[in-house]
Chain A
Amino acid sequence: MTMPWFIRRILGIVPTLFLTWSIVFGVLQLIPGDPVMLALGGTPASDEVLDNERRRLGLDQPVYIQYLTFLKKMAVGDLGNGYSSKQPVSEMIAARMRPSLELALGGLLVGIVLGVALGIAAGLRPHGWIDTAMMSSALVGVSLPSFWIGMLLIYVFGLQLEWVPILGDGIDALILPSITIGLFLAGGLARLIRSALIETMTQDYIRTAHSKGLSAVRVVAKHAMRNAIIPPITLLGLQFAVLIGGAVVTERVFARAGLGSMLIDAVLTKDIPLVQGLVVYTTTAYIVINLLLELLYGIVDPRIRSRRA
C-alpha cells in the first residue's frame, strides 16, 4: 500500500475507539438498578411517568438499537444530558476542562524541566553524587502521596512564607499544584532518562561521534538523546493523558474546579450520563494521545516509520 505511514496510524485508531465505546456501553448495561429511577433522583413517580421517561431516553427499544444509537451519538460527540443539571454532558465537560488542562500542562512543564535535567546529570555519571542523591530523592518523590506534598507546599509557601496564593484561577495559583504534579512526574522521568542514557552512551555510534571530534555536549544532546528519548516520551505522554482527565487528588487539595473534582461529584450523586461522559472523554483522550505519541516516535526514529510501511 502506498498510503503514508501516518495516515495508516490515524485510521488505525477507529477500531480502538469503536471497541472502547462498546465496552462503555456494555458496562452501562451491567449497572444494577433502573436508570429511569436514578434519572428521576429517586423521587417516587407513577408508572406512567416512568414509562414516558423510559421512552424519552430510548430505553424501551431493543438493546441492539440502543447500542447503535449510542455509537452514533458518541461519533458526533453527543454524550446526553446530566441527571442533576439537565445540561448537555459535553458542555459540562468543556466548561471544566480548562483548570484540568492548565494543571496538566503546568505539571508537565515542571516535570520535564526537573526530570530531564536530573536524568541527564545522573545518567552521564552513574553512581556519582548527583546520581546517588537523585535516585534516593526520586524514590521519595514518587512514593510520597500527592495530597501530602500538596499540603506541605500550601503550608510552607502559601501560609508561612505567603509567596503564592493557594486558591484562585490566576497563573500564580497554578504554581503550587503544578509543582505537586511536576515532582511526581520528574521522579519517574529522571529515572527513565537516566537508564536510557546510560544504555545509549555505550553504543558504538557514540564512539563514532566522539571519533569525529564532536564536543561532549553535542554527542549527548544530538547523538545520545534522540535515541534515549522514546521511553521518556512514552511515559510523559501516558501520564499527560491521565492528567487531562483530571488530577483528582491535587484538584481537591487546591480546590480547583476541574474534571477530577467533577468526576468525584458525579460518582457520589450517581449521575450516570455524566460519569459515562467523563469515561468516554478520558478514554478517547487517552487513545488520541497514544496516536500522537506513535506519530512522534515516527518523527524521532526513522526505523519506526519504515516498519509501518
Chain B
Amino acid sequence: MAEAPLLAVESLSVAMGVTPVLEDVSFRIAPGETLGLVGESGCGKSVTALSIMRLLPNPPGRIIGGRILFDGTDMLSLDIGALRAIRGDRIGMIFQEPMTSLNPVYTIGDQIGESLIFHRGMNGRTARSETAKLLDLVGIPAARNQLDRYPHELSGGQRQRVMIAIALACRPRLLIADEPTTALDVTVQAQILDLIGRLRHELGMAVLLITHDLGVVAEFCDRVAVMYAGRIVEEAPAAQLFKQPRHRYTEALLHTMPAANPPGRKLPSISGTVPAPADRGEGCIFAPRCGFAIPRCANELPPLTEPPHRLRCWNPA
C-alpha cells in the first residue's frame, strides 16, 4: 500500500470492564478501498467498528491502547467537538439491526435530513429535497411520499436502505458497515449488498465491511482481515486469501462456506466455540480447536507477520 491510508488502526486494545476483548488489532484501509473484516460471532468485529467512531458503550467499554488514524488525525485524542464533526460527515456507519436502529418516533425524512442540517448547515427545505434525492439514491421509490413515513411502516430491507441514506447523507470518505445484511432475508441481503457496492463506486468511498459471511467477502472486498477472539490472525488480498488461505482458522471458515460444499447437504461448522475473553490462554487462542496444533501453539503466541500477506500462525498451511 503505497498510498497514504485513509484509516490506520494501530495496535488497538479494548477492554470491557477488566476483560480484554481486543488485543493488538492493526489494519489499514486506502482511500476507495474495501476491506472485509470476518470472523465468528463474538470475535470483536463490532467492538472494532465502534472503537473507530468512539461509540463504545462506556462503561464497560474502554480503549486501553493503540491509535486510530483517520486521514492523519488520531481519533482517540480528538475532543468531542472535533470528533462529532467527523461522525456522520466523513465517516458514516450502518448497523446490524435495521429494526431498532431508527428512532421510532421521528419520520425517516427527519432522521436523514438531520445530518444535512447539522453538518451542511442546510435549512429544513433544502434538507428535505436533498433527503428525497438520497432516498432515490438508495432505491426507495416515490421518495417524496416516503419522507413522512415512520420506521414501523417500513420493512427491514427498507429500513436498512434508510440507514444507508443516513450514513451516506454527507458523502463520507469511509463507510463502516457492521453486518449490514445479517438480519435480513436472503433476497434482500443481495439487494442491499448490490446497493452498497454501487454507491461505493459512485461516491468513491472506502468501506470497512464487517461480516461473518465469507461468500459476501469473496465478491465484494479488495482485501480481507480475519479476526479470531479479539486478534487479527490473517490478512491478505481477497483473491489470494480465497485461493491460498494459510491460517488454519481461515481454512476452517472457508470449509463452512456454502460454495465450498455440495448443495443440499448440511454445512459443516467449526467444532467448539470462540473462548470467552476471560478464558484465553497464553498461546494461540485457536489452538484448542485447531486440528494442526503443534506443542508450541499452546504456550507461545505467534506474532503477526508483515504485509502483503499477514499471518499469525506457528504451523500454517
| A contact set with B: CB distance below 8 Å | 202-205, 207-216, 222-223, 226-227, 300-303, 306
- Flag B281-292 by CB within 8 Å of A: 1 or 0 each: 000000000000
Q: Is B102 an interface residue (CB 8 A)?
A: yes
CB–CB A223/B103 < 8 A:
yes
Please indicate which of the listed interface residues A211, A215, A300, A306 has the most CB atoms of chain B within 10 Å of its own CB.
Answer: A211
Other CB < 8 Å A-B pairs besides A214-B88, A226-B105, 20 of them? A204-B100, A205-B101, A205-B103, A207-B55, A208-B101, A210-B55, A211-B53, A211-B92, A212-B114, A213-B86, A213-B88, A213-B115, A213-B119, A214-B84, A223-B103, A300-B105, A301-B104, A302-B105, A302-B150, A306-B153
| 8 A Cβ contacts from B197-249 to A | none
Give the chain B neighbours of A216 by CB distance below 8 A: 80
30 contacts between A and B (CB under 8 A): A204-B97, A204-B101, A205-B100, A205-B103, A207-B55, A207-B101, A208-B95, A208-B103, A208-B163, A209-B103, A211-B53, A211-B55, A211-B88, A211-B92, A211-B93, A212-B88, A212-B114, A212-B115, A212-B118, A213-B87, A213-B88, A213-B119, A214-B114, A226-B106, A227-B104, A301-B105, A302-B104, A302-B150, A306-B150, A306-B153
- Nearest B-chain residue to A304, judged by Cβ: B105
Q: Which residues of A contact B95 (CB under 8 A)?
A: 204, 207-208
Chain A residue, CB-CB nearest to B169: A212
- B84→A213 contact, CB < 8 A: yes
**Which residues of B (55-95) have their CB < 8 Å from a CB of A?**
55, 57, 80, 83-89, 92-93, 95
Count of residues in B whose CB is under 8 Å from the partner chain: 33
In the complex, what residues of A have CB within 8 A of residue B119's CB? 213
- Docked CA distance A296–B120 (Å): 33
Complex Cα spacing A209 to B103, Å: 8
* A215 B84 Cβ-Cβ under 8 A: yes
* Complex Cα gap A303–B92 (Å): 28
Cα distance A207–B87 when bound, in Å? 11
CA distance in complex: A301, B85 (Å): 30
User: 10 tightest CB-CB pairs across the interface, nearest first?
Assistant: A212-B88, A213-B87, A213-B88, A204-B100, A205-B103, A213-B84, A302-B150, A211-B93, A204-B101, A212-B115
* Binary interface encoding of chain B residues 30-72 relative to chain A, with 1 for a CB under 8 A from any of its CBs, else 0: 0000000000000000000000010101000000000000000
Residues of B within 8 A of A300 (CB): 105
Do B102 and A213 have beta carbons less than 8 Å apart? no
A303 to B107, CA, bound (A): 11
B152 interface contact, C-beta 8 A: yes
Per the bound structure, the CA–CA distance linking A204 and B102 in Å amounts to 8
Q: How many contacting A-B pairs (Cβ < 8 A)?
A: 75
**C-alpha gap A207/B167 in the complex (Å):** 13
Q: How far is the CA of A209 from the CA of B163 in the complex (A)?
A: 11
A201 nearest in chain B by CB position:
B57
CB distance from A197 to the nearest CB of B (A): 15
Tell me the smallest distance from the CB of A303 to a CB of chain B, in Å.
5
Instruction: Write out the residue numbers on chain B whose beta carbons fall within 8 Å of the beta carbon of A226.
Output: 105-106
Q: Within the assembled complex, what's the spacing in Å between the Cα atoms of A302 and B167?
A: 24
Q: Which residues of A contact B7 (CB under 8 A)?
A: none
Flag if B104 contacts A213 (CB, 8 Å).
no
B166 within 8 A of A: yes
Residues of chain B contacted by A207 (CB below 8 angstroms): 55, 95, 101
Distance between Cα atoms of A203 and B83 in the complex (Å): 21
For residue B101, which residues in chain A have a CB less than 8 angstroms away from its CB?
204-205, 207-208
Which chain B residues lie closer than 8 Å to A202 at the CB level?
Answer: 57
Within the complex, the shortest CB–CB distance from A43 to chain B, in Å, comes to 63
| A residues less than 8 Å from B97 (CB atoms) | 204
Contact of B104 among A205, A212, A214 (CB under 8 A): A205
Partner of A205, one of B80, B83, B84, B102: B102
The answer to whether A213 touches B85, judged by C-beta atoms less than 8 angstroms apart, is yes
User: How many angstroms between the C-alpha atoms of A306 and B150 in the bound complex?
Assistant: 10
A257 → B minimal CB distance (Å): 43
- Chain A nearest CB from B141 CB (Å) reads 21
Whole-angstrom distance between the Cβ of A98 and the nearest chain B Cβ: 37
Q: Once the chains are docked, how many angstroms separate the CA of A154 from the CA of B216?
A: 73
Q: How far is the CA of A208 from the CA of B93 in the complex (A)?
A: 8
Of listed B97, B103, B163, residue having the most chain A CB within 10 A: B103
Whether the pair B105, A213 counts as a contact (CB closer than 8 A) is no
Q: Taking the nearest CB of chain A, how far is it from the CB of B73, in angstroms?
A: 15
CB distance from B52 to the nearest CB of A (A): 11
Min CB distance, A233 to chain B, in Å? 13
| Minimum distance in angstroms from B89 CB to a CB of chain A | 6
- Taking CB atoms, residues of chain B closer than 8 Å to A210 are 55, 87
Alpha-carbon distance between A300 and B150 when the two chains are bound, in angstroms: 12
On whether the beta carbons of B152 and A302 are closer than 8 Å, the reply is yes
Cα(A112)–Cα(B153), bound, Å: 33
A75 to B118, CA, bound (A): 53
Q: How far is the CB of B179 from chain A (nearest CB, A)?
A: 13
Cα of A302 to Cα of B102 in the assembled complex, Å = 13
Question: Is B102 within 8 A of A208, CB to CB?
Answer: yes
Contact A208 B84 (CB under 8 A): no
**Residues on A with beta carbons closer than 8 Å to the beta carbon of B89:** 213
Give Cα A204–Cα B80 distance, bound, in whole angstroms.
Answer: 20
Checking A205, A222, A303 against B152 with a beta-carbon cut-off of 8 angstroms, the contacting residue is: A303
CA distance A213 to B91 in the complex (A): 10
Q: Max chain A CB contacts within 10 Å: which of B86, B100, B101, B105?
A: B105
- Whether A212 touches B87, Cβ cut-off 8 Å, given contacts A205-B104, A223-B103, is yes
B100 CB contacts on chain A under 8 angstroms = 203-205
Cα A214 to Cα B53 with chains together (Å) = 13
Q: Which of A208, A211, A227 contacts B105 (CB 8 A)?
A: A227
The docked-state distance in angstroms from the alpha carbon of A195 to that of B227 is: 37
Q: How far is the CA of A223 from the CA of B105 in the complex (A)?
A: 8
